[in-house]
Structure formats: structure tokens, C-alpha cells
């Protein structure tokens, strides 16, 4: 994310400034009201001189009325402008906070899959929720600091107006206070970043262990998880406590410095009144009033700065997300797919993840025609899933290219291109909501008739009609109210309603029981009709009739052919086949034996 505004050294502050410029008139109103409120807060420093010299010493009754009225009007004005400044700044801050959260969520939706592979979901959630809110809260802190700063400036002006030397004596300790604040600012920011990273790790642990609570209970590891949580929460506590201790040191040190300043002022002021007789009692009271009124805003200014420095590391974690490049829609000149997809070819394709130079796929070459069923088989880790993930550009090819109708898929609009592709994963993810909503998720603007038709084709209609509220039945988080086979058939209906030209099936039946597998496989057979289909197969019996079977090992294609051709090669596919089905007779050319093989 490029920063057009570079007023601050810190990127998070510049980001907030960029967002705040969208509401510049509201901010301007806040600044005006804050200025008036701060000025009115300093009025007693001026009026106290007249209260002492004219009212108490000279017994001027008219001046007493003016002073009283002046203080009352200043107080009312301060309260009203302060109130409207506060609610206005809060409105701007909350609006900016909302804008930031929306932008971060939007940015996350457009990040490549590699980002989610490299980062834990719990930490991402912590950045989106807590850290994004903190970036927005920076505005409220800055508004408060601005108001306190204006009050300090107004009171400082009054002090110099009363006595230049006395003001210098009072402010001579200011550089010392600034030095203390500066010294601890870096420590607060550093410890704040460590604390936020630790909080992110804790959130990630909680998200992961609650998502995997079934496995934890199945292996009777609940007590171990509790102990681990105690350890990481203690680590979070210690880092948070360390940050608090650093912050706590600033205020007492500054208070001691302020006390020394007051004593110096009292000593010099007393000398000017009692010995030199160059200052009236009203002047000294006015000066001391200004100094006294300054102490609280100055203390709040220091505390707000501490809050700001502690908030910046959280904000920086949000900026780190916004700085990650989004998926590129297309490379070079955008090209259009005219008509239907007729061919797809993999040309010398190699791939490695961004965080490792090790090649996962090596020099893949494969040609596919429209309507063909292409099955990928091989041991776990052979690169099957990685290869099919390159088709919808979930990951970008490292070397070589993938072409559709002779066009490099990188030159196609990603959004338009993905409309041609449907995916049914091994574990179907359903969203919280109704069965109807989950099927309709596949395509915008579908009708109820479309939903029912897709459900029937996916062999899901009958069980849906037996549910308590039929299509309006809530499926629960991740579809927990449905069985594995039911979820898979809902996912197939979702893919069917999209009516894609290319279908990707990632071991879609491997985790199902026999009956569910039969129903799902029947639905998949309907799904594959007249579509170019890529199947990752766990059970070879499901892909015997595939047009092409691609045998992979260690990221390379070892064999390509149909079932009969590969068995005749007597190679890796034959070996995998015999592992699953046992030794077959050597005479593979026997037509009768071939029928038996197909029936297996």
C-alpha cells in the first residue's frame, strides 16, 4: 500500500492521516472546538490576577462581578465545546475504525493463498479485530493529545506574559521531561509490539485448539492443552506486565520534575514580591494558576503519548497486512476467452512456494481437451493437489505456463477466469446459514427452481426434504448439523449451480462411508458430464474410466494414459493398483478379465 502522505515518520500515523483526510471537515470542526475549549480552560489564569489585585486588594465590586461572569461563561463555553469536540472526534474515530476494518477484510479476501499458508488464522483474526480497532483508536488519542497540547500552549503564553524570567525558570525543566518521555517512548513501543505479537500467538492457539477440540478429546489431551495454554498465557501476562511497568515509570519521574519546577517558581516569585517588589500578588497568583492548570494537561499529554506508543505496534501489525500485495488480476495485456474452453495445456510448469526455493512441481507437461476426465494419482506428497491448485491460480506458476485455448491464464482476468471453474474439495466447507443459502452461494441471482434442480442432480434433494425445515434448515458452523456425505452433496449442488466448464474434484469421496460414497460418486458422475474434469483420486476404482490418468511421484509426471494402457506399462500405476486390489493375472488383454477389473 503506497503512502501519499508522509507527515510522520511512523507509517501507522501516516495511514491514519490518510483515512482522516476523508473526513477533513469533521476534523476541522473538532480542531476549532478543541481550540476554543482549550482557550477557555486557560481563562482562569488571566482572571485570577484581577481577582487578587482589583477585587481583594482594591475592593472593586464591579470587577468582582466581571470576574465571576467571565469564569462562568468560560466554563460553560469550555464544557459545551469540549463535549461537542469529544463526541465529534469519537464519531470520526469510530468511522475511521470501521473503514480500516472493512479495508483490511477486503484486502484479506484478495490476498493470494500463499499468505494464508504462511500465517496462522488466529493471528490474522487478532490483527483484523483488535489491532484494526487500535489503529482506528489512534485518532481518538491524537485528538485528546491535541486538545491537551493547546491548553499547555495557552497557559505557557500566559506565563511568559506575566514574567519572562519566571516562565523560563518554570520551563527550564521541560527539556528534561521531554528527554524522559523520549527515552521511554522507544521502550514502550518495543515492549508493546512484543506484547501484541504474543497476544496474536495466544489467539492463534485458542482458535486452533478450539477448532481441533474433537481431536484433543479423542486423544485425551485436554489437560495437556490446558497446561500449554497456562504457559503461553503466562508469557503474555509477563510481557504485558513488563510493558505496564515501563509505562508506570514515566509519570512518577515527571511528577518529581514538576514538583522541583513549582518549588523554583515559588522561590523566585516570593523574592520578586517580598524583596525586589517588581511583581504584584495578582501576577504571582496568575502565574501559579497558569502553572497549576498546566500540570494536569501536561500529565495527560504524557500519558496519552504513552498510550499512543503502546498502540502503534498494534497498528503496525495491521499495516503489515495492508502492505502484502493482493492477487494480480492479470499480467501484461488482458486477453479474453472467446467462447467455450476447448483446450488446456501445462507447458514446462514448475512451482515452489514463496517461503522455500525447493521445487514442489518439476517440468510438468500435459495437454487436456474439452470434456476429458483427467485423474491424478500418486502417493501423498507427490504434488497432485498443488498441481490442480495452479489451475484456478490459487498459486502462480513459478516457471513455464498454463494455457487455455492457447492463452496464458496469467493474461486472463482472474475474476472472469474463475467463473469457468468449480471446485469440490475433500472436506466441503459450509457456511453458517441455511441449506438454501449454501447451495445458492455458488452463483448470484439463482432461483428456487435452480436450487431444487441442483439438489436433485447432487442426490441431495431426498435428505434435504427430510430435514426439519427442509431447504431452510440451519446447517450450523462449518455444517456441523449435517453428516460428511450430506455436506459433500450440498457442496456438489453448490458447484452444479455454478455450471462451470472446468471441474476440480479433490478426493471428494475419500472420507465417506460406502453408502455415502455411492451417492456422492453418482452425483459426481452427473457433475462431470460435458465438463473438463480434473480428479485427485485416492481410490483407483473411482477413476478407472478416466480419459487420462496422470501418475505423479516427487512432483513429476511419471506416466500418462488410460487405465488399460497404464496397466500394460507394468510401471508405477500397476504397482499402486496392485497395492489396492492385489495381484492380477498377467493376461490383461483378456476382455473378460478387463470387465472384472472395471467392476472392482
- Helix, strand, or coil (residue 343): strand
- Are residues 555 and 382 in contact, defined by beta-carbon separation less than 8 angstroms? yes
- What residues contact 599, with CB distance under 8 A and at least 6 apart? none
The three cell numbers locating residue 186: 522507544
Q: CA 386, CA 392: separation in Å to the nearest integer?
A: 11
Cα 150 to Cα 29, 77, 136, 141, distances in angstroms = 15, 16, 22, 14
- Helix, strand, or coil (residue 440): helix
Residue of 538, 504, 509 whose CA lies nearest to 368: 504
The three cell numbers locating residue 61: 465590586
Q: CA 557, CA 376: separation in Å to the nearest integer?
A: 9
Tens-binned pLDDT, residue by residue, of the chain (600 aa): 444 445 556 677 777 778 777 887 887 888 888 888 878 877 887 777 777 777 777 777 788 888 888 888 888 888 888 888 888 877 888 888 888 888 888 888 888 887 877 777 777 777 777 777 777 677 777 777 887 888 888 888 888 888 888 777 777 766 666 666 666 666 666 666 676 667 667 777 776 676 666 556 655 566 777 777 777 777 777 777 676 766 666 666 666 666 666 677 777 777 776 677 777 777 777 777 777 777 778 777 877 777 777 777 777 787 888 888 888 888 888 888 877 888 889 999 999 887 778 888 899 898 988 888 888 888 888 888 889 889 988 888 889 999 998 889 999 888 888 888 888 877 777 777 888 888 888 677 788 888 888 888 877 888 888 888 888 888 877 777 887 778 888 888 888 787 788 888 877 665 555 666 676 677 777 767 778 889 887 777 777 888 888 888 888 888 888 888 888 888 888 888 777 766 444 444 444 434 444 433
pLDDT at 254: 62
Q: CA 337, CA 350: separation in Å to the nearest integer?
A: 24
pLDDT at 215: 59
Q: CA 93, CA 152: separation in Å to the nearest integer?
A: 24
- Are residues 211 and 427 in contact, defined by beta-carbon separation less than 8 angstroms? no
Cα 44 to Cα 19, 203, 499, distances in angstroms = 37, 50, 76
Q: Residue 299: in which H helix or E strand, if any?
A: helix 281-322
Tell me whether residue 219 is exposed, middle or buried, using C-beta atoms within 10 angstroms of its C-beta: 0 to 12, 13 to 18, 19 or more.
exposed
The vertex-9 CA angle with 4 and 10, nearest 5°, equals 90
pLDDT at 592: 42
pLDDT at 347: 92
DSSP letter for 600, please.
-
Given the C-alpha cell 469533521, which residue does it identify? Answer: 26
Tell me whether residue 207 is exposed, middle or buried, using C-beta atoms within 10 angstroms of its C-beta: 0 to 12, 13 to 18, 19 or more.
middle
Strand partners, 434: 474
Q: What count of other Cβ atoms lies within 10 Å of the Cβ of residue 126?
A: 24
- Helix, strand, or coil (residue 504): strand
Given the C-alpha cell 475549549, which residue does it identify? Answer: 37
Q: CA 295, CA 72: separation in Å to the nearest integer?
A: 22
pLDDT at 96: 82
Helices (H), 212-221: 213-218
Residue 38 — φ and ψ, nearest 5°?
A: -65, -40
- What residues contact 144, with CB distance under 8 A and at least 6 apart? 89, 300, 304
The three cell numbers locating residue 428: 466441503
The vertex-305 CA angle with 304 and 307, nearest 5°, equals 60
pLDDT at 585: 41
DSSP letter for 501, please.
S
Cα 477 to Cα 218, 288, 431, 520, distances in angstroms = 20, 64, 6, 22
Cα 178 to Cα 185, 316, 465, distances in angstroms = 10, 24, 72
Establish how many alpha carbons lie within 13 A of residue 312's alpha carbon, considering only the half-sphere containing its beta carbon. Answer: 21
Q: Residue 176: in which H helix or E strand, if any?
A: helix 174-211
Residue 377 — φ and ψ, nearest 5°?
A: -130, 160
pTM over 0.85: no
Q: CA 253, CA 561: separation in Å to the nearest integer?
A: 80
Q: Encode 548-570: b = buried (16+ Cβ within 10 Å), e = exposed.
A: bbbbbbebbbebbbebeebbeee
Pairing of strands 373-377, 399-404: unpaired
Residue of 109, 111, 113 whose CA lies nearest to 394: 113
Q: CA 445, CA 430: separation in Å to the nearest integer?
A: 19
pLDDT at 192: 64
Cα 104 to Cα 129, 200, 273, distances in angstroms = 10, 16, 62
- Are residues 193 and 186 in contact, defined by beta-carbon separation less than 8 angstroms? no
The three cell numbers locating residue 476: 450450523
Q: CA 85, CA 30: separation in Å to the nearest integer?
A: 5
Q: CA 440, CA 452: separation in Å to the nearest integer?
A: 10
The vertex-401 CA angle with 395 and 403, nearest 5°, equals 100
Residue of 516, 501, 491 whose CA lies nearest to 439: 491
Residue of 51, 52, 53 whose CA lies nearest to 70: 51
**Strands (DSSP E) along 141-222, which ranges?**
none
Q: CA 596, CA 600: separation in Å to the nearest integer?
A: 6
Domains and CATH numbers, the chain: 11-322 (1.20.1560.10), 421-499 (3.40.50.300)
Q: CA 272, CA 283: separation in Å to the nearest integer?
A: 10
Tell me whether residue 444 is exposed, middle or buried, using C-beta atoms within 10 angstroms of its C-beta: 0 to 12, 13 to 18, 19 or more.
exposed
pLDDT at 600: 33
Amino acid at each position: 500500500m503506497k503512502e501519499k502522505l508522509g507527515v510522520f515518520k511512523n507509517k501507522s500515523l501516516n495511514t491514519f492521516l490518510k483515512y482522516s483526510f476523508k473526513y477533513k471537515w469533521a476534523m476541522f470542526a473538532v480542531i476549532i472546538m478543541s481550540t476554543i475549549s482549550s482557550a477557555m480552560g486557560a481563562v482562569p489564569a488571566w482572571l485570577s490576577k484581577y481577582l487578587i489585585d482589583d477585587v481583594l486588594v482594591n475592593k472593586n465590586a464591579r470587577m468582582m462581578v466581571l470576574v465571576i461572569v467571565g469564569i462562568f461563561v468560560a466554563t460553560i463555553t469550555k464544557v459545551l465545546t469540549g463535549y461537542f469536540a469529544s463526541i465529534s472526534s469519537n464519531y470520526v474515530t469510530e468511522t475511521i475504525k470501521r473503514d480500516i476494518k472493512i479495508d483490511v477484510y477486503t484486502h484479506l479476501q484478495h490476498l493470494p493463498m500463499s499468505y494464508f499458508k504462511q500465517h496462522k488464522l488466529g493471528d490474522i483474526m487478532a490483527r483484523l479485530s483488535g489491532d484494526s480497532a487500535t489503529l482506528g483508536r489512534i485518532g481518538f488519542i491524537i485528538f485528546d493529545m491535541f486538545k491537551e497540547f493547546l491548553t499547555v500552549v495557552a497557559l505557557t503564553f500566559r506565563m511568559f506574559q506575566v514574567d519572562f524570567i519566571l516562565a523560563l525558570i518554570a520551563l527550564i525543566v521541560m527539556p528534561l521531561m521531554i528527554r524522559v518521555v523520549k527515552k521511554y517512548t522507544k521502550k514502550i513501543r518495543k515492549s508493546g509490539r512484543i506484547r501484541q505479537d504474543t497476544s496474536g500467538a495466544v489467539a492463534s492457539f485458542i482458535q486452533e485448539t478450539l477448532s481441533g477440540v474433537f481431536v484433543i478429546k479423542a486423544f485425551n489431551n485436554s489437560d495437556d492443552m490446558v497446561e500449554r495454554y497456562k504457559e503461553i498465557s503466562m508469557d503474555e501476562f509477563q510481557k504485558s506486565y513488563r510493558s505496564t511497568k515501563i509505562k508506570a515509570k514515566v509519570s512518577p519521574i515527571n511528577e518529581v520534575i514538576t514538583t522541583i519546577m513549582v518549588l523554583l517558581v515559588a522561590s523566585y516569585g516570593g523574592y520578586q514580591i517580598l524583596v525586589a517588589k517588581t511583581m504584584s500578588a495578582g501576577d504571582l497568583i496568575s502565574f501559579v494558576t497558569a502553572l497549576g492548570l498546566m500540570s494536569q494537561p501536561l500529565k495527560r499529554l504524557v500519558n496519552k503519548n504513552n498510550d499512543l506508543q503502546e498502540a502503534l505496534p498494534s497498528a503496525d501489525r495491521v499495516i503489515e497486512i495492508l502492505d502484502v500485495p493482493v492477487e494480480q488480476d492479470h499480467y501484461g495485456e488482458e486477453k479474453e476467452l472467446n467462447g467455450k474452453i476447448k483446450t488446456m495445456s501445462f507447458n514446462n510448469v514448475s512451482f515452489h512456494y514463496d517461503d522455500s526455493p525447493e521445487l514442489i512441481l518439476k517440468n510438468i507437461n500435459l495437454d487436456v481437451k474439452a470434456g476429458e476426465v483427467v485423474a491424478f494419482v500418486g502417493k501423498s506428497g507427490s504434488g497432485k493437489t498443488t498441481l490442480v491448485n495452479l489451475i484456478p491460480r490459487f498459486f502462480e506458476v513459478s516457471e513455464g505456463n498454463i494455457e487455455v485455448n492457447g492463452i496464458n491464464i496469467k493474461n486472463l482476468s482472474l475474476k472472469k477466469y474463475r467463473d469457468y471453474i468449480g471446485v469440490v474439495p475433500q472436506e466441503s466447507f459450509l457456511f453458517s446459514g441455511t441449506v438454501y443459502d449454501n447451495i445458492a452461494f455458488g452463483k448470484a441471482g439463482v432461483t428456487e427452481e435452480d436450487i431444487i434442480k441442483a439438489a436433485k442432480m447432487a442426490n441431495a434433494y431426498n435428505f434435504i426434504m427430510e430435514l426439519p425445515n427442509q431447504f431452510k434448515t440451519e446447517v450450523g458452523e462449518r455444517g456441523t448439523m449435517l453428516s460428511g456425505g450430506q455436506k459433500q452433496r450440498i457442496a456438489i449442488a453448490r458447484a452444479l449451480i455454478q455450471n462451470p466448464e472446468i471441474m476440480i474434484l479433490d478426493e471428494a469421496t475419500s472420507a465417506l462411508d460406502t453408502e455415502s460414497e455411492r451417492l456422492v460418486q453418482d452425483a459426481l458422475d452427473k457433475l462431470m458430464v460435458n465438463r473438463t474434469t480434473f480428479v485427485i483420486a485416492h481410490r483407483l476404482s473411482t477413476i478407472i474410466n478416466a480419459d487420462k490418468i496422470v501418475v505423479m511421484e516427487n512432483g513429476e509426471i511419471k506416466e500418462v494414459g488410460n487405465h488399460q494402457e497404464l496397466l500394460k506399462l507394468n510401471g508405477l500405476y500397476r504397482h499402486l493398483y496392485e497395492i489396492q486390489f492385489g495381484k492380477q493375472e498377467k493376461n490383461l488383454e483378456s476382455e473378460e478379465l478387463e470387465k472384472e477389473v472395471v467392476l472392482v
